[in-house]
Amino acid sequence: MNAAASAYPAHMKRSRGVPMIRASRGNPQSAAITRLALAYARLWGARICFDAEFGLFVCNGMRGGYARGGTTIGGAFLTGREPARSLLRHEAVHADQWATYGWAFALRYLFEESRRRGASNRFEIAAGLADGGYRDS
């Protein structure tokens, strides 16, 4: 094991050699979205690794370019900090939603968010409000 790999916790691995199919849930549209998200995250200075438990690329240390505490785009979670395990469980559901709806998920989510913000958003409810750090309203 080299020094760079040992800097990551056991449940997270460097993204090199990890099949995109896990993060994209086998959906070609989600794979394309995930690739774009990873490129975008690199532009914002992200450290990218793959969380094997949740099948999600984690892009942390970003200087900006994400909403709230983080944003999932395809199979990539973009954030500025090291996420809690419960938050990654929540974000993995959003990756499933991206795989289900493809490109249309962005529009569906934004429309829902314009009608029902935060904890009232049905996509956030489906992902688990407590895991996502939402307070009961």
Among 7-21, 52-66, 77-91, the minimum mean pLDDT is found in 7-21
The distance of Cα 91 from the centroid of its chain, to the nearest Å, equals 5
The pLDDT of residue 68: 84
Inform me whether the pLDDT recorded for 88 exceeds 80.
Answer: yes
Binned at pLDDT 50, 70 and 90, residue 1 comes out as very low
18 three-state secondary structure: coil
What is the average pLDDT across 77-94?
Answer: 97
Nearest to 33 by CA among 109, 130, 88: 109
The pLDDT of residue 19: 57
Mean pLDDT of the chain: 88
What is the average pLDDT across 115-127?
Answer: 95
Binned at pLDDT 50, 70 and 90, residue 69 comes out as confident
Inform me whether the pLDDT recorded for 5 exceeds 90.
Answer: no
For residues 103 and 107, give the distance between their C-alpha atoms in angstroms, rounded to a whole number: 8
